[in-house]
Amino acid sequence: MAKINFGGTLEDVVTSEEFTLDMARKTLKNETVAVLGYGVQGPGQALNMKDNGIDVIIGQREGGASWEKAIADGFIPGQTLFPIEEAARRATIVKYLLSDAGQVSCWPAIKACLNPGDALYFSHGFGIVYKDQTHIIPPENVDVILVAPKGSGKTVRRNFLAGSGINSSFAVFQDYTGRAEERTKAIGIAIGSGYLFPTTFEKEVYSDLTGERGVLMGCLAGVMEAQYNLLRKHGHSPSEAFNETVEELTQSLIRLVAENGMDWMYGNCSTTAQRGALDWAPKFKKAVEPVFDELYQSVISGNETEIVLRVNSNPDYRKNLQKELDVIKNSEMWQAGVAVRSLRPENRT
């Protein structure tokens, strides 16, 4: 692995120049990879591996929307698309990409399908780390590995098609064959990772659950709503409030951050914006630090996973989820967003 300096700390990373796609193909040439679940991560990872010449089959509940999506994506029932258990039996590497609640309910059946020397693959440490809640305890005669792309399944696919990639962490929980790390790196490269960095199952799930509830989704949504509502309260129009809160962030500033970092984004804004951001950033940091402390403790204690498993196992989960999502969708802020997006030049032609 290559040593890279991350802000003064040296870390090991694996790049596609170091562990090439040809090496990945050679490592996986006698393997059949079953992707169980064709919802969030499944499609992107499966299609990228397929395009990279890996022997991929899909395991999905027959007849549902995801089954039909797999067919639309080119997987053939009875050849490369099977019911979940059959796919698991056919595979040497079982990618367990069902929802966390789905993994819990299917685990006894999947465990019975594993053969000595198989690899059980996760893209999230949830099931293994919180085994007291999930009861997912792998047999001792299989490899247990993880590659966790740092983005949604749609981004995994989109970046791959664009010729880039999305960074992924990787970990080995159990090495039965002596080949677990090699298999893990090969899968990571085969799904199109920009680079791979090592972690553990524990660190992956702690950072992932914190990030989703924090900056990446929960905090972002909450802060956006707070600023939008403040501007509306003081008489600003929906268009002005949305543009100053969301559109400028997503269409301009965050792209500058992605390109060269926060300091570079500051450096390419007005001096008035620079001064205000530099003065107010510490105040926001101080305000949210206690919330992040509370969040992290809730994650490592298992409280967050207990909530997820309880709520997501409810028979009415999908219906109730849609109600919550519709509240967001139908709010003035995000209806303003629909209007703003429709007025982008590319959407008017």
Positions annotated as catalytic residues are 124
Tell me, what DSSP letter sits at residue 150? S
Structure tokens at 66: 């995801």
Quickly count: other Cβ atoms within 10 Å of residue 44's Cβ. 26
Cβ–Cβ < 8 Å for 93, 69: no
Rounded distance, CA 110 to CA 120, Å? 10
Q: Mapping DSSP to helix (H, G, I), strand (E, B) and coil, where does residue 71 land? A: helix
> How far, CA to CA in Å, does 91 sit from each of 26, 58, 61, 120, 303?
17, 10, 17, 10, 34
The residue type at 332: E
Q: What are phi and psi of 61, to 5 degrees?
A: -60, 130
**3-class SS at 189?**
helix
Q: At what angle do helices 201-213 and 218-233 cross, to 10 degrees?
A: 10
Ramachandran class of 13: left when φ > 0, alpha when ψ lies in -120 to 50, beta otherwise: beta
Strand 56-59's sheet: what is its strand order?
A: 2-6, 9-15, 193-198, 166-174, 143-149, 119-122, 93-96, 33-36, 56-59, 81-82
Pairing state of beta strands 143-149 and 81-82?
Answer: unpaired
Question: Computed over its alpha carbons, how large is the radius of gyration of the chain?
Answer: 22
> Do the bridges between strand 2-6 and strand 143-149 make them parallel or antiparallel, or are there none, so unpaired?
unpaired
Alpha-carbon span 217 to 207, nearest angstrom: 13
